[in-house]
């Protein structure tokens, strides 16, 4: 390293560093150069290592160095100070370790000297094992900074070779790292895998081929620590959110493992609920049926259906989670068809429709209405609203069966009851009508109830933006279905209804007044 400078007044350095660190807005190369011309890096690093008795000096210098290294000019010095990075990654001080991790990220982000490979610098100075140590043993901030650095490293071809060594026996192979660390360390390794998995399809493929997804299965199967299992499930939910995750998760036994958790009444409720959410999220992906066969989806639906049936007879109240999961599955046309399939006797959708119009539990009814809205196609493209096969007839039959068992007698009567409830329930009811009204039989039900038309055409019904927009979308869908039906459009008895719908659509969603009257204008008299 270069010859170390000394500073006679560390208090002065702290003040100048504080001004630089707290400067509003981004620091640029010119400001970084100006500061380093007055206080060269050896001065700052020496002060950071000695600290002395100056209160707040360490925190201030760390914040200052973070901003310096976040400029291209500051990052250009990092290769000369890799020893400082090494020492920092092993420091007792957590904020210094965090700084060192962030410095690695800055090196990878900003350094553009084509004669030196940043990944080679990391290999030559044995930085990667130190980053892993920070991941496993640092505090939360240090672990997060370490993950960011490793994720950035994965963006380099040489970096991928470092993180995923060809030899599975390497100590730094993430599978071996997880095998020898604490439960907290294992959860952090899983979190790192999720971060890396999200980068691209090719990185996800490398993770799959390295058998690292098996680590999730191991933790979820380990029932000795509920907190760790729950953490693994939370991270698996993040994996299921990643667009290209469907392909690789479908190749594992994770879906069957989730089914086992859902089906086991001895498993803790919180774990079952999370397994339901993950299954629903995974089975709502557009490409899921490309990689998962129908039988696997039916197994999940059957497990969810079983829990709903048990919740009616035993002290198991997870109906909201089950209904939400079924709604996610039903958001895809293939999933909706399976939920309405007669091969499930009775179809799983029966539970959804029964609960949607059961006022015994607000949360349960709300979840069921949203699930029914998904099954009906409210969230699907226009060309995928109607279902194929016997599913449409099954949907119609279930709606009339549910209505016949109630005091309302008809599906339209059920919807009037829904729209007369609180704003949350009404919003969910709008979604049901928006999806269902594409069916002629349902459209005729809606047109038979003036109360429904009055609610959906009245711009003052809702007071919140989301409510206004949901009501208006519902009104638009009814109007569009109405004008598309020659049978209804040419019915003289419905001419007034058609005009009312058209006028409501013309006014828009936001409390538009029907008539704008002229207002008197008062002008202050001129005094001068």
Instruction: Write out pLDDT tens, residues 94-134.
Output: 999 999 999 999 999 987 767 778 888 999 999 999 999 99
Q: How confident is the model over 422-480, as pLDDT tens digits?
A: 999 999 999 999 999 999 999 999 998 899 999 999 888 888 999 999 999 999 999 99
Residue 280 and residue 373 share a domain: yes
Residue 325 and residue 393 share a domain: yes
525 within some domain: no
158 within some domain: no
Distance in angstroms (rounded) separating the CA atoms of residues 254 and 215: 11
Residue 327 and residue 425 share a domain: no
pLDDT beyond 70 at 19: yes
């090494």: which residue's tokens?
86
DSSP string covering 200-262, please? -HHHHHHHHHTTTTHHHHHHHH-TT-HHHHHHHHHHHHHHHHSTTHHHHHTTSSHHHHHHHHH
Residue 421 and residue 380 share a domain: no
Residue 432 and residue 382 share a domain: no
Per-residue confidence band for 386, with pLDDT thresholds at 50, 70 and 90: very high
Residue 418 and residue 335 share a domain: no
pLDDT at 342: 67
Distance in angstroms (rounded) separating the CA atoms of residues 204 and 137: 26
The total number of structural domains that make up the chain:
2
pLDDT at 344: 56
* Closest C-alpha among 90, 99, 97, 114 to residue 68: 99
* Closest C-alpha among 356, 361, 360 to residue 330: 356
Q: How confident is the model over 351-377, as pLDDT tens digits?
A: 999 999 998 889 999 999 999 999 999
Dihedral class, residue 126 (left if φ above 0, else alpha if ψ from -120 to 50, else beta): left
Distance in angstroms (rounded) separating the CA atoms of residues 303 and 495: 49
Q: What is the model's pTM?
A: 0.85
Residue 413 and residue 377 share a domain: no
The secondary structure of the chain in percent helix, strand, coil, rounded to multiples of 5, reads 70, 0, 30
Per-residue confidence band for 528, with pLDDT thresholds at 50, 70 and 90: very low
pLDDT at 343: 66
pLDDT at 516: 45
Residue 471 and residue 373 share a domain: no
426 within some domain: yes
Please give the residue range of the domain that contains residue 478: 407-510
For 127, the token pair is 């930085």
Are the CB atoms for 337 and 344 separated by under 8 Å? no
Please give the average per-residue pLDDT across 31-60, as a whole number: 87
Question: Which long-range contacts (C-beta less than 8 Å, at least 24 apart) are formed by 402-409?
Answer: 402/353, 402/354, 402/357, 403/357, 406/357, 408/357
Q: Residue 240, class by beta-carbon neighbours within 10 Å (0-12 exposed, 13-18 middle, 19+ buried)?
A: buried
Distance in angstroms (rounded) separating the CA atoms of residues 146 and 132: 7
Residue 506 and residue 486 share a domain: yes
Which residues 6+ apart lie within 8 Å of 465 measured at CB? 510
Which residues 6+ apart lie within 8 Å of 435 measured at CB? 373, 374, 375, 376, 377, 378, 379, 380, 385
DSSP string covering 96-117, please? HHHHHHHHHHHHHHH---TTS-
Angle, CA 232 vertex, CA 229 and CA 237 arms, to 5°: 125
For 142, the token pair is 């240090």
Q: How confident is the model over 159-212, as pLDDT tens digits?
A: 999 999 988 889 999 999 999 999 999 999 999 999 999 999 999 999 999 999
Residue 392 and residue 259 share a domain: yes
pLDDT beyond 50 at 515: no
Are the CB atoms for 150 and 135 separated by under 8 Å? yes
CA–CA distances in Å: residue 255 to residues 109, 277, 353:
37, 12, 26
Residue 426 and residue 320 share a domain: no
SS3 (DSSP) at 129: helix
72 within some domain: no
How far the first Cα of the chain sits from its last, in Å, is: 80
């Amino acid at each position: 390293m270069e010859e170390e400078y000394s500073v006679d007044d560390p208090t002065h350095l702290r003040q100048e560093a504080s001004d630089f660190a707290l400067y509003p807005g981004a620091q640029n190369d010119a400001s970084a150069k100006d500061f380093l011309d007055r206080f060269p890096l050896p001065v700052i690093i020496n002060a950071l290592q000695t600290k002395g008795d100056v209160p707040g000096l360490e925190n201030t210098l760390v914040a200052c160095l973070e901003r310096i290294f976040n400029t291209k000019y500051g990052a250009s010095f990092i290769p000369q100070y890799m020893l400082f990075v090494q020492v920092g990654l092993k420091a007792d001080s957590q904020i210094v370790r965090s700084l060192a991790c962030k410095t690695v990220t800055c090196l990878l982000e900003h350094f553009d000297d084509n004669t030196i490979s940043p990944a080679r610098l990391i290999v030559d100075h044995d930085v990667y094992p130190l980053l892993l140590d920070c991941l496993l043993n640092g505090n939360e901030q240090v672990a997060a900074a370490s993950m960011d650095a490793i994720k950035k490293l994965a963006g380099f071809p040489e970096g991928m070779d470092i993180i995923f060594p060809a030899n599975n026996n390497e100590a730094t192979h993430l599978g071996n790292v997880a095998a020898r660390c604490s439960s907290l360390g294992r959860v952090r390794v899983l979190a790192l895998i999720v971060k890396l998995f999200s980068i691209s399809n090719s990185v996800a493929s490398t993770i799959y081929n390295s058998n690292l997804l098996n680590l999730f299965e191991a933790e979820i199967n380990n029932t000795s620590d509920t907190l760790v299992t729950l953490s693994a499930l939370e991270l698996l939910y993040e994996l299921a959110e990643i667009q290209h995750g469907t392909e690789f998760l479908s190749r594992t036994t994770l879906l069957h493992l989730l089914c086992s958790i859902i089906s086991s009444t001895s498993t803790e409720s919180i774990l079952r609920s999370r397994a339901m959410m993950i299954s629903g999220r995974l089975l709502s992906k557009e490409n899921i049926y490309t990689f998962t066969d129908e039988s696997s989806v039916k197994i999940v639906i059957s497990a969810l259906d079983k829990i709903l049936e048990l919740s009616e007879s035993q002290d198991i109240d997870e109906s909201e989670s089950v209904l939400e999961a079924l709604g996610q599955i039903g958001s895809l046309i293939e999933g909706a068809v399976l939920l309405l399939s007669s091969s499930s006797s009775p179809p799983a959708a029966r539970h959804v429709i029964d609960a949607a119009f059961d006022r015994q539990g607000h949360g349960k009814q709300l979840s069921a209405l949203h699930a029914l809205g998904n099954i009906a196609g409210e969230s699907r493209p226009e060309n995928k609203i109607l279902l194929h096969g016997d599913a449409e007839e099954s949907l119609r039959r279930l709606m009339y069966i549910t209505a016949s068992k109630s005091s309302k007698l008809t599906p339209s009567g059920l919807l009037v009851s829904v729209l007369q409830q609180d704003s949350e329930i009404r919003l969910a009811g709008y979604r049901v009508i928006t999806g269902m009204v594409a069916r002629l039989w349902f459209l005729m039900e809606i047109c038979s109830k003036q109360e429904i038309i009055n609610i959906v055409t009245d711009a003052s019904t809702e007071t919140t933006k989301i409510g206004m927009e949901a009501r208006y979308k519902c009104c638009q869908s009814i109007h569009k279905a109405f004008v598309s039906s020659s049978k209804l459009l040419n019915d003289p008895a419905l001419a007034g209804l058609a005009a009312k719908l058209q006028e409501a659509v013309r006014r828009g969603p936001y409390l538009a007044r029907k008539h704008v009257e002229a207002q008197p204008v008062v002008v202050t008299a001129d005094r001068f």
